[in-house]
Amino acid sequence: MFLDELSPFLQELARQPVAFLGGFVSGVLRLDLDEDPVKSWLNNQNVSVSDDDDFSNGSGPTSGPQQISID
């Protein structure tokens, strides 16, 4: 049962290990991609960072309550 919960993480780790570990480490260290030196390093690597906070079509989490179903 515990392995079923970890399987999506392990699949992503197997597909793109460098990207997964980079995202994991930046999350653990709480690095902000909009602050230096991370921002300047990403610009030197020609990486574009999308803002998850900007929802131009209004379908973001601020558009009101959403319905979910629980089995």
Is the pLDDT assigned to residue 2 strictly greater than 70?
yes
Task: Locate the domains of the chain by residue range.
Answer: 7-47
Averaged pLDDT score across all residues of the chain: 75
Q: Give the confidence band of 50 by pLDDT, cuts at 50, 70, 90.
A: low
- Give me the helices (H) in 1-71, please: 2-15, 17-28, 38-44
Q: Are the C-beta atoms of residues 43 and 36 closer than 8 Å to each other?
A: no
Is the pLDDT assigned to residue 53 strictly greater than 80?
no
pTM: 0.40
